[in-house]
């Protein structure tokens, strides 16, 4: 059933409607029909295939928090004419959501890595992640247009999470002994990029 949802898209009619995702790579989900034809649906059941996703429709913006069925409250069908404007506004909201998601994700990884013994690697990873978190906040405040830095940071964060999870499988191999030059190089390229676009100074120029 999930594959069917991914591969098809319902036409917008009075009796059916769709949620169209605006974040690339996220699959489409469906809502049940508006059986009483009022266009006003509250507590609509929607099956999402990706957790932590934001979905947009002419009737409102919904968030999923798991791959299970969730309830979304929607507003009246009368907002249809403002669909395009809301689509643009929503793109900004979705980016803000994405940034906040990764800021929260970074906090979790920093907390998790605290359990490792104090070492250069631990200090480097936690410090680099904290810098990325500050960069994300700065991006949200400055409302910059070029999102490529967000993608680079989110990729770094995801790799850091993978590193932590893989290392947990082998607790006898100390985190301090891992060769993390790749991560340090990756971070330094993010640091340079942040500096180049005027987002954040390099680490050596940051202070308390």
Partner 1 sequence: MASFTGYKKVIYDANCIIYLCFKTEEQGKSGNLVVIDSPPFTELTRRLTEYLKTYNKIVCTLKLVFDEIASLNLAEAVKERTSDQDIRDALGLSRGEIFPEHIEYKIVRNMKKKLIKLQYEEWFEIDPNYLANPQSISEVRNFFRAMFNNPTIQPRFKPHKPPIPSRPDISLILYSRDTLFPLISNDRHIYEFKEELANSNYTHKIIPLQECNSIE
Three-state DSSP state, 107: helix
Q: Does 37 bind partner 1 (CB under 8 A)?
A: no
CB of 206 vs partner 1, minimal distance in Å: 7
In the range 88-117, which residues lie near partner 1 by CB under 8 A? 110, 117
Site string for partner 1, 143-182 (x = CB under 8 A): ---------------------------------xx-----
| Binder of partner 1 out of 124, 138, 144, 193 (CB under 8 A) | 124
Residue 88 has φ and ψ, to the nearest 5°, of -70, -45
Q: Does 20 bind partner 1 (CB under 8 A)?
A: no
Cα separation, 66 vs 186, in Å, equals 31
| Binder of partner 1 out of 20, 130, 167, 195 (CB under 8 A) | 130
Scanning 1-9, 34-42, 95-103, 130-138 for contacts with partner 1 by CB under 8 A, the matching segment is: 130-138
Residue 70 has φ and ψ, to the nearest 5°, of -125, 160
Question: Toward partner 1, which CB reaches closer, 35 or 208?
Answer: 208
User: Which one, of 112, 118, 88, 102, lies nearest residue 22 by Cα?
Assistant: 88
Cα separation, 40 vs 37, in Å, equals 8
Q: Which residues bind partner 1 (CB under 8 A)?
A: 110, 117-124, 126-131, 134, 176-177, 203-204, 206-208
């Amino acid at each position: 059933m999930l594959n069917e949802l991914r591969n098809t898209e319902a036409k917008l009619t009075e009796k059916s409607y769709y949620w169209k995702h605006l974040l690339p790579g996220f699959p489409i989900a469906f809502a049940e029909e508006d059986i009483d034809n009022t266009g006003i649906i509250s507590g609509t059941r929607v099956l999402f295939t990706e957790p932590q996703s934001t979905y947009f429709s002419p009737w409102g913006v919904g968030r999923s928090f798991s791959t299970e069925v969730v309830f979304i409250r929607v507003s009246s069908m009368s907002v249809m004419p403002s669909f395009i404007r809301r689509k643009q506004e929503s793109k900004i909201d979705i980016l803000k959501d994405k940034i906040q998601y990764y800021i929260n994700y970074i906090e979790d990884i920093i907390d998790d890595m605290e359990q490792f013994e104090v070492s250069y690697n631990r200090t480097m990873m936690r410090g680099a992640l904290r810098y990325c978190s500050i960069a994300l906040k700065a991006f949200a405040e400055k409302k910059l247009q070029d999102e490529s830095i967000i993608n680079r940071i989110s990729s770094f964060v995801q790799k850091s999470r993978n590193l932590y999870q893989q290392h947990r499988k082998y607790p006898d191999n100390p985190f301090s002994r891992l060769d993390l030059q790749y991560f340090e190089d990756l971070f330094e390229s993010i640091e340079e990029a942040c500096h180049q676009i005027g987002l954040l100074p390099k680490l050596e120029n940051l202070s308390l």
